[in-house]
Amino acid sequence: MHHQGTNHLRIWQKRPGSALTESSDAVVVEEPLEIRISYGEPGSRRTDSLAVTMRTPGHDAELALGFLLTEGLLGSAQDVAEIQEIPATAGNEPHDNRLLVSLQPHVRFDMARVERHFYTSSSCGICGKASIEQVRAVSCYYPQPGLPKVDAAVLNRLPELQRLSQKVFETTGGIHAAALFDDVGQMLLLREDVGRHNALDKLIGAAMLQRWLPLRRHIALVSGRAGFELVQKCAMAGIPILAAVGAPSSLAIELAEESGMTLIGFLRDERFNVYSCPERVE
């Protein structure tokens, strides 16, 4: 599926010493994506609506895979038989905004436990230790203690490498990015989305399709701040180092410590803070 992540719209600009003038501007596209899931043995399969997320169209199958893994609902890409678009049934319905994820018949999927494990939203009403305990209860992978070792100079180079690859951000200035690097600073993947959590889900979903999980020798870099939900997603994929150009939250730091993950904040201008597991940084 290929989508354009930007729209060019008519706007009016005001500049010092001049009146409003008509112009055009590129803006990030934001549309809902409904993820539906089909599961069960032949003859008794069910299809349920799993979630609706606001995202930038593009890499939707990766987004669905990453979402399922980081929510603890899927173990690997091999559990999925097929991902397909659900075509619109009426002329006024949006196109390409619904996905059906069909699980392999042998995969056990309990829809009743889905709501109990959707804890990534800060407004879900679950907080503190309860959130961390739920993450640990369903995590698929964990980072290896003390590994990998990464030179500080390598970390300092990552934001610029990420920025140079952010094509949609370069055009619009209004989109988040998540990038995956190896332990010597080579960029392997980058995904952009209007939501920082969606960008990371797309990144992890792409890594799943490459059969790279667990990502125990890798570094994830996210634009903006490092919230609890981003640490949770990295922990589910086994990522040992999460770096952000912005600040972490207190619960993000607590979860990183509990998960044995190195959490880095304010990575910019050749400086950064390490909030947990500093032994990985040399």
User: Which residues participate in catalysis according to the annotation?
Assistant: 124
DSSP for 21-83? EEEEEEEE--EEEEEEEEESSTTS-EEEEEEEEEE-SS-HHHHHHHHHHHTTS-S-GGGEEEE
Q: 143 is written with which tokens?
A: 């980072």
Task: Tell me if 227 sits within 8 A of 252, measured CB to CB.
Answer: yes
Nearest Cα residue to 189 out of 165, 213, 168, 171: 165
C-alpha atoms less than 13 angstroms from C-alpha of 41 in its C-beta half-sphere: 0
Nearest to 3 by CA among 50, 57, 45: 57
Maximum distance among all Cα pairs of the chain, rounded to whole angstroms: 71
Other Cβ atoms less than 10 A from the Cβ of 71: the count is: 20
Is 172 within 8 Å of 164 (Cβ atoms)?
no
